[in-house]
Each structure stands twice: as structure tokens, then as C-alpha cells.
């Protein structure tokens, strides 16, 4: 079966790599893909939001399944469009993708179906004065302010005191810093604990969880500095035991899926829960409607099953109620970012040394912001490469990765040195 993967990041490279090992896979296309994907996929020059051109391509090239990587086309309704044209596609339609596209939608659903989340309140721009009052009367800080809509991961502000919270409120409603994404906001309490990412296949009937992962959002070691798209990840997460996993499924995932069903929303794709574990109890921070990046790069290398049948079954609402088989190994992904990231990102710097890793079987490199320019591999965005290692222990995987990173060079290379440090196993 021919497969079309939509997107151009490390997540999509990893999806293409895993699908390339499928016994069912025929030709693999990526739109638009990136420089590193060409070893496992044919990159085609169609943008992620060009629904008609993408569907025409799928029809013309006998694509049996289209897998959508990023959220923007899902929130924009790509899956509905493909299904209307009779094409199988992995990812929820526009209604289901609201779980990521609207934090207010998710908060309301969570409240209605009893999913534990931080206490808070929704305000629209017309309720500016009420929001000010709410902030002023808050006795606990930090307070968290969130834009309703998609904001490239920058729409969540953690205000350490009242003045900062009021300034943020003005950024949302007066300065309109987040445009229409900030027409409604949520003000909520700050939860403490540790975060985990749980990705599940969900097809409207069955829920099949993938193994847990943790990602690292801040640019610097010890979770310092600015938020990024993700600087690294690891899987599994040893500190989450079976009992806690059951709590997560029973108190968060199952009520959400029941809620989607009762609201009449046909969801077929990944349901990705961002969770805070606080004193042994899970709370929902957010939902995403797609594979996580860089969680995917730490999770899929451990998946022993063939991925493509899972994707296809889920997209056709025929998901099997059986667990996925996982390797016992530990997997780590360390992201190499370009100079200036996350405020800016550089393009066109030559990337050297990848050929030295070609013989190293314990390392994989997934490309994100890379391109070819005059026969050179160059940087082409903020997150450039994900270096992934799988080994008997996290410590061994880390050693392999950090030894490999020494060989990879480009101007201003940034990476964290504490990914999967001291996580057990």
C-alpha cells in the first residue's frame, strides 16, 4: 500500500522510517518532507494546508493511507475533506481536532465529563473587567493564562505574581498579541508535579494506549530558559507504575472518549494527553490531536508491532482491542537546535559529520529543519535534528547519543545535556 505522510518535522521522519519497515508498505511519499526523509520517502512539493492538491496527489498515486503529522491541517479539516473524497486518512476531523484547536472546548468537555484538570475560568474579550477582577482576587500564584486557539506552543503564560498576570491579560485582550487565538482565554491555577505525555490510538470505539513518554520543553538544562517545541524526550517513563497508568486511563482517557462519543464526534487518530502527575494523581493539562514531537521519536523505535496496520485500522474505525508489543529497551531523543532558537532560527548553516554516524547501528538521526543547498546539507529551521538512541538502559542510550553528537557540527548548535538523566532503568 502506498502511504502519504503530511508534514516536515522529526515526527514525520520517524513515522516514515517506521512505516518503511511495514510488511504492507509500498511507496512512501512525504509532503513536503525534509532533506533527511529522502532515504525512506519521496518528498513532494505540496504544502500541508493544500487539501485539494494533496487529495489529488493521493488519488493519482494510488495512496491507500494518508497520515497527517501536524495539528494545523487537522484543525483546518483535512481529514473531513479526504474522507469526503473517499480517501482513508489517519487523524480526526475538524470537530475532534478542536481538542487541540480550542482549549476552551477541551476545558468544557473535561468539566462536563468529570475529567480532573486545574481549577479555572474562561473569559472572552468582552469580559475583560471580570477577568481583571478574577485575577485580582486570586490568592494563589503562579496563575496560568492560556489563549484558546493555536498559538505555536506560545499561548500559555505562567504569571508569577498579580502584576504580571494583569499585564498578560492586557497582552491578550488589549494588545491582541495572539490575534484571534486569544479572543477567549482561560485563567487557571498552577499545578505542581511532573508531566508525562500519553498518546493513544482512538477510533470512536476502542482505545489503545502507546507507551508513555516525557518531553523537555525548555531550551536549557534543569528546565531553565524559554519554552520550545521540545528539546528531547524519552520512553518509557519508569516512575509511572501500573496503578497510576490505570488511574490515568480510568479518570482521564476513558471519560474523554465517552464524552466525544456522547457529543457525536467521530474521532479516528491519536488522542495525546499532556498530563500533570501531582501527588500521585493525574490531571489533564491539554489534549493534542496528533503524534507528539519529539515524543514520537522516543516511542516508535520501541514499538515492535508493524505500525501501518494500526494506523489503517484506526482510520477505518476497526481498531483491535489488543495491546501493542513494546521492546524492553530504553529510548532517548536529543534535539539539536539552531543558533538563536527559540526566539529566532538560523538557516543555511552547513551540517557536518552525519556520515560518521552511518556505521553506528545504535543511533538514528531524524531530520527536522534541514534542507539541501548547493549539494550541502544545511540547517533550515529551529529544531534541526533529533538524535535517537535505544539501549538496555537510559544511561547507555544517553552515552551513545552524546558521543554521536560530538561528531555532528553546525554553527551555533544547541542541545540539552540532561535529557533522560536520572530517570531510572
Distance from C-alpha of 414 to C-alpha of 335, rounded to nearest angstrom: 8
Half-sphere exposure of 202 (CA within 13 A, CB side): 29
Q: What angle do CA 387, 223, 165 make, to 5 degrees?
A: 135
Min dist. Cβ of residue 190 to ligand GLY (A): 19
**Which CB, 9 or 36, lies closer to ligand AMP?**
9
Distance from C-alpha of 14 to C-alpha of 107, rounded to nearest angstrom: 31
Min dist. Cβ of residue 80 to ligand GLY (A): 22
Which member of 211, 215, 313, 349 binds ligand GLY (CB under 6 A)? Answer: 215
Helix H or strand E encompassing 51: helix 51-60
Taken in order 149, 150, 152, 156, the sign of the CA dihedral is positive
Closest CB to ligand AMP: residue number:
286
**Which CB, 288 or 400, lies closer to ligand AMP?**
288
Q: Is there binding between residue 12 and ligand GLY (CB under 6 A)?
A: no
Closest CB to ligand GLY: residue number:
292
Judged by beta carbon distances under 5 to 8 A according to partner kind, the member of ligand GLY, ligand AMP, none in contact with residue 69 is none
Closest alpha carbon to 16 in 367, 327, 376: 367
- E-assigned strand segments in 296-375: 330-337, 347-350, 363-367, 370-373
Q: Is there binding between residue 80 and ligand GLY (CB under 6 A)?
A: no
Min dist. Cβ of residue 288 to ligand GLY (A): 5
* Whole-number Cα distances in Å, 46 to 40, 75, 78: 18, 18, 14
Which member of 184, 288, 338, 346 binds ligand GLY (CB under 6 A)? Answer: 288
In this chain, which stretch among 15-23, 290-298, 300-308, 363-371 interacts with ligand GLY, using CB under 6 A?
290-298
Residue 341 cell numbers, joined: 532558537
Distance from C-alpha of 332 to C-alpha of 351, rounded to nearest angstrom: 22
Q: What angle do CA 366, 332, 216 make, to 5 degrees?
A: 95
Min dist. Cβ of residue 82 to ligand AMP (A): 27
In DSSP notation, 257-274 reads HHHHHHTT----EEEEEE
The shares of helix, strand and coil residues in the chain, as percent rounded to the nearest 5, are 35, 30, 35
Q: Is there binding between residue 203 and ligand GLY (CB under 6 A)?
A: no
Q: Footprint of ligand AMP on this chain (CB under 6 A)?
A: 118, 144, 146, 156, 188, 190-191, 195, 217, 274, 285-286
According to DSSP, the residues that pair with 176 across neighbouring strands are: none
246 contact partners, CB below 8 Å, separation of at least 6: none
**Which CB, 150 or 314, lies closer to ligand AMP?**
150
In this chain, which stretch among 159-167, 288-296, 298-306, 415-423 interacts with ligand GLY, using CB under 6 A?
288-296
**Which CB, 58 or 210, lies closer to ligand GLY?**
210
Min dist. Cβ of residue 323 to ligand GLY (A): 23
Min dist. Cβ of residue 363 to ligand GLY (A): 21
Query: Is the separation of the CB atoms in 424 and 394 below 8 Å?
Result: yes
Which member of 203, 293, 329, 380 binds ligand GLY (CB under 6 A)? Answer: 293
According to DSSP, the residues that pair with 370 across neighbouring strands are: 379
Judged by beta carbon distances under 5 to 8 A according to partner kind, the member of ligand GLY, ligand AMP, none in contact with residue 191 is ligand AMP
Distance from C-alpha of 217 to C-alpha of 238, rounded to nearest angstrom: 19
Q: Is there binding between residue 33 and ligand GLY (CB under 6 A)?
A: no
Judged by beta carbon distances under 5 to 8 A according to partner kind, the member of ligand AMP, ligand GLY, none in contact with residue 371 is none
Query: Is the separation of the CB atoms in 30 and 18 below 8 Å?
Result: no
Q: Is there binding between residue 230 and ligand GLY (CB under 6 A)?
A: yes
Judged by beta carbon distances under 5 to 8 A according to partner kind, the member of ligand GLY, ligand AMP, none in contact with residue 1 is none
Judged by beta carbon distances under 5 to 8 A according to partner kind, the member of ligand AMP, ligand GLY, none in contact with residue 118 is ligand AMP
In this chain, which stretch among 250-258, 291-299, 364-372, 403-411 interacts with ligand GLY, using CB under 6 A?
291-299
Min dist. Cβ of residue 406 to ligand GLY (A): 26
What's 392's DSSP letter?
S
Distance from C-alpha of 274 to C-alpha of 345, rounded to nearest angstrom: 26
Judged by beta carbon distances under 5 to 8 A according to partner kind, the member of ligand GLY, ligand AMP, none in contact with residue 144 is ligand AMP
Q: Which of residues 294-333 bind ligand GLY (CB under 6 A)?
A: 295
Which member of 120, 149, 292, 381 binds ligand GLY (CB under 6 A)? Answer: 292
Binding residues for ligand GLY (CB under 6 A): 215, 230, 288, 292-293, 295
Amino acid at each position: 500500500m502506498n502511504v502519504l505522510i503530511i508534514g516536515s518535522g522529526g515526527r514525520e521522519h520517524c513515522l516514515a522510517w517506521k512505516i518503511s519497515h511495514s510488511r504492507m508498505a509500498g511507496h512512501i511519499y512525504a509532503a513536503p518532507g525534509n532533506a533527511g526523509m529522502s532515504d525512506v520517502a519521496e518528498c513532494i512539493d505540496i504544502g500541508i494546508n493544500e487539501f485539494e492538491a494533496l487529495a489529488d496527489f493521493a488519488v493519482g498515486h494510488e495512496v491507500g493511507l494518508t497520515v497527517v503529522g501536524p495539528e494545523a491541517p487537522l484543525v483546518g479539516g483535512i481529514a473531513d475533506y479526504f474522507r469526503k473524497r473517499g480517501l482513508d486518512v489517519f487523524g480526526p476531523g475538524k470537530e475532534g481536532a478542536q481538542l487541540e484547536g480550542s482549549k476552551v472546548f477541551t476545558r468544557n468537555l473535561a468539566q462536563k465529563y468529570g475529567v480532573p484538570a486545574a481549577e479555572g475560568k474562561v473569559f472572552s474579550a468582552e469580559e475583560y473587567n471580570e477577568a481583571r477582577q478574577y485575577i485580582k482576587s486570586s490568592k494563589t500564584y503562579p496563575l496560568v493564562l492560556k489563549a484558546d486557539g493555536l498559538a505555536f506552543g506560545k499561548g500559555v503564560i505562567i504569571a508569577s505574581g498579580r502584576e504580571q498576570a494583569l499585564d498578560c491579560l492586557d497582552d491578550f485582550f488589549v494588545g491582541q498579541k495572539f490575534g484571534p487565538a486569544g479572543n477567549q482565554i482561560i485563567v487557571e491555577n498552577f499545578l505542581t508535579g511532573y508531566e508525562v505525555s500519553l498518546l493513544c490510538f482512538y477510533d470512536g470505539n476502542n482505545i489503545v494506549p502507546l507507551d508513555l513518554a516525557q518531553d523537555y520543553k525548555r531550551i536549557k538544562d534543569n528546565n531553565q530558559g524559554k519554552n520550545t517545541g521540545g528539546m528531547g524526550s524519552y520512553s518509557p517513563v519508569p516512575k509511572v507504575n501500573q496503578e497510576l497508568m490505570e488511574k490515568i486511563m480510568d479518570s482521564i482517557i476513558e471519560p474523554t472518549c465517552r464524552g466525544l462519543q456522547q457529543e457525536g464526534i467521530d474521532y479516528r487518530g491519536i488522542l495525546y494527553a499532556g498530563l500533570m502527575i501531582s501527588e500521585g494523581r493525574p490531571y489533564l493539562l491539554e489534549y493534542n490531536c496528533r503524534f507528539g514531537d519529539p515524543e514520537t521519536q522516543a516511542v516508535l523505535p520501541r514499538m515492535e508491532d508493524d505500525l501501518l496496520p494500526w494506523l489503517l485500522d484506526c482510520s477505518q474505525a476497526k481498531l483491535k482491542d489488543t495491546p501493542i508489543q513494546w521492546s524492553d529497551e530504553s529510548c532517548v531523543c536529543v534535539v539539536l537546535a539552531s543558533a538563536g532558537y527559540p526566539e529566532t532560527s538560523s538557516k543555511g548553516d552547513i551540517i557536518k559529520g552525519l556520515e560518521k554516524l552511518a556505521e553506528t547501528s545504535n543511533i538514528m538521526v531524524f531530520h527536522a529543519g534541514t534542507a539541501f543547498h548547493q549539494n550541502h546539507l544545511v540547517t533550515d529551521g529551529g529544531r534541526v535534528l533529533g538524535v535517537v538512541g535505544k539501549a538496555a538502559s537510559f544511561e547507555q542510550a544517553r552515552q551513545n547519543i552524546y558521543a554521536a553528537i560530538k561528531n555532528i557540527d553546525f554553527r551555533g548548535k544547541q542541545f540539552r545535556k540532561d535529557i533522560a538523566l536520572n530517570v531510572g532503568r
